[in-house]
């Protein structure tokens, strides 16, 4: 082997370890943030476990947290159950906020601060290409976040399982805005999107505070849109009924109204501005309504809605990652 070919061979041999080496450096430099994330993970698990233990210790004779005599038609939950419901009803929102914090960390301290201060140059000068440098800053938080949030999702679902024996509770229904994203893979999609958007904003603006603000704005807009239009991600079911409700207690009601003889749908909101002396139902019948209908998502739509939302988030995350690498290549080669 001559002196001209040896350096090339050594470079090829060490190339596979470049990303692992960058990951180790990141973990060492940002170990305080890593410990903070671990503390949040332990805190989240501890809260759910504490609530379950509290509910279990306050079980009444009838079970399910009921404080009425067995066989009574009226269900009255005890204080432990109502308090736990209040906390767990917003668990999904808390997990999305945690994902947003991770995105802000990626956008600010992890990437934008190095680009702003110029501390990336020594790493690039030591045979670490810009692509490997950015890949490590995407892979490390993504892997740690997916692992931690997967544990939290499992624990959160276990916490919600405590309510299965009692009557359905509105706050912890499967489709509730504060519950749904935290009980399945959708929250992992939110986390990966936050990491990807944080990286893209960082390489675009290269200013710590500006990158964090832009990340919060973009991520918040996506989360708000998906929350508002989640029911549109999968076709809803339709049911004719003889009563106003028209759906089972476990369903997610979307819309309802009355049908005319020709099958035309008349929605209740169309008569909300009617003369109140007439009444909404009287208004609907004057327009030809003869029977009730309901549009809803049954509980069986949980997984289709979860998977479609997750797929949408992963597609947006992939697009943001692709854009981040293109911007980095254009600016730094």
pLDDT tops 50 at residue 6: no
Q: Which residue has the higher pLDDT, 60 or 58?
A: 58
Helix axis angle for 186-205 and 208-228, nearest 10°, is: 150
Give the pLDDT score at 236: 93
Please state, rounded to an integer, the average pLDDT across all residues of the chain.
83
Instruction: Give which of 159, 146, 201, 171 is closest to 53, Cα–Cα.
Output: 159
Instruction: Give which of 141, 138, 118 is closest to 208, Cα–Cα.
Output: 118
Instruction: Give which of 149, 148, 150, 176 is closest to 163, Cα–Cα.
Output: 176
Q: How confident is the model at residue 65 (pLDDT cuts 50, 70, 90)?
A: low
Most confident of 25-39, 218-232, 269-283: 218-232
Percent of the chain with pLDDT over 90: 44
Give the pLDDT score at 9: 33
Strand order across the beta sheet in which 291-297 lies = 237-241, 291-297, 252-259, 265-267
pLDDT tops 60 at residue 109: yes
The mean per-residue pLDDT over the stretch 138-147 comes to 92
pTM listed for this prediction:
0.85
Instruction: Give which of 305, 303, 268, 302 is closest to 287, Cα–Cα.
Output: 268
pLDDT tops 80 at residue 94: yes
pLDDT tops 70 at residue 248: yes
Give the pLDDT score at 14: 36
Burial tier of 285 (Cβ tally within 10 Å: 0-12, 13-18, 19+): middle
Give the pLDDT score at 264: 86
pLDDT tops 80 at residue 238: yes
| CA–CA gap between residue 204 and residue 93 (Å, rounded) | 28
Q: Which residue has the higher pLDDT, 28 or 190?
A: 190
DSSP 271: G
Give the pLDDT score at 273: 65
Residue 270 · residue 246 · CB < 8 Å: no
Residue 109 · residue 208 · CB < 8 Å: yes
Give the pLDDT score at 10: 33
Cβ atoms within 10 Å, residue 262? 7
Q: Helices (DSSP H) in 61-129: which residue ranges? A: 79-88, 91-105, 113-117, 120-125
The mean per-residue pLDDT over the stretch 219-240 comes to 94
pLDDT tops 90 at residue 324: yes
Residue 142 CA: distances (Å) to CA of 99, 149, 315: 10, 10, 15
The mean per-residue pLDDT over the stretch 46-68 comes to 77
| CA–CA gap between residue 144 and residue 142 (Å, rounded) | 6
| CA–CA gap between residue 165 and residue 230 (Å, rounded) | 28
Residue 219 · residue 100 · CB < 8 Å: yes
The mean per-residue pLDDT over the stretch 193-213 comes to 94
| CA–CA gap between residue 183 and residue 95 (Å, rounded) | 10
| CA–CA gap between residue 14 and residue 17 (Å, rounded) | 6
Give the pLDDT score at 260: 87
pLDDT tops 70 at residue 123: no
Give the pLDDT score at 288: 84
Q: How confident is the model at residue 75 (pLDDT cuts 50, 70, 90)?
A: low
pLDDT tops 70 at residue 2: no
Give the pLDDT score at 3: 38
Q: Which residue has the higher pLDDT, 331 or 71?
A: 331
The mean per-residue pLDDT over the stretch 202-227 comes to 95
CA pseudo-torsion sign 196, 197, 202, 208: negative
Token pair of 210 as six digits: 């500006």
């Amino acid at each position: 082997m001559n002196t001209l070919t040896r350096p090339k061979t050594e470079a090829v041999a060490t190339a596979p370890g470049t990303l692992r080496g960058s990951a180790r450096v990141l973990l060492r430099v940002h170990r305080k943030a890593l410990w903070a994330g671990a503390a949040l993970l332990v805190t989240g698990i501890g809260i759910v476990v504490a609530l379950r233990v509290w509910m279990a210790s306050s079980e009444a004779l009838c079970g399910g947290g009921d404080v009425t005599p067995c066989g009574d038609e009226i269900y009255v939950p005890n204080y432990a159950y109502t308090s736990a419901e209040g906390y767990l009803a917003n668990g999904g929102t808390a997990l999305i906020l945690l994902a947003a914090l991770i995105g802000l960390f990626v956008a600010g301290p992890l990437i934008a601060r190095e680009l702003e201060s110029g501390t990336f140059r020594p790493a690039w000068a030591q045979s670490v290409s810009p692509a490997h440098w950015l890949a490590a800053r995407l892979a490390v938080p993504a892997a740690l976040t997916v692992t931690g949030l997967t544990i939290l999702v499992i624990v959160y679902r276990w916490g919600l399982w405590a309510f299965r024996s009692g009557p359905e509770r509105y706050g912890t229904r499967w489709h509730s805005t504060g519950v749904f994203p935290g009980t399945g893979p959708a929250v992992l999609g939110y986390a990966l999107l936050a990491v990807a958007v944080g990286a893209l904003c960082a390489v675009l603006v290269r200013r710590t505070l500006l990158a964090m603000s832009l990340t919060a704005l973009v991520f918040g807009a996506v989360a708000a849109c998906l929350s508002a239009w989640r029911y549109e991600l999968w076709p809803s079911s339709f049911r004719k009924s003889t009563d106003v409700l028209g759906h089972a207690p476990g369903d997610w009601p979307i819309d309802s109204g009355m049908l005319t003889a020709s099958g035309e749908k008349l929605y209740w909101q169309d008569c909300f501005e009617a003369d109140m002396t007439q009444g909404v139902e009287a208004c609907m019948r004057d327009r030809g309504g003869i029977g009730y209908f309901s549009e809803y998502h049954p509980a069986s739509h949980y997984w289709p809605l979860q998977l479609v939302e997750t797929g949408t988030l992963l597609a947006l995350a992939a697009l943001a990652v692709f854009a981040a690498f293109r911007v980095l290549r254009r600016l730094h080669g």
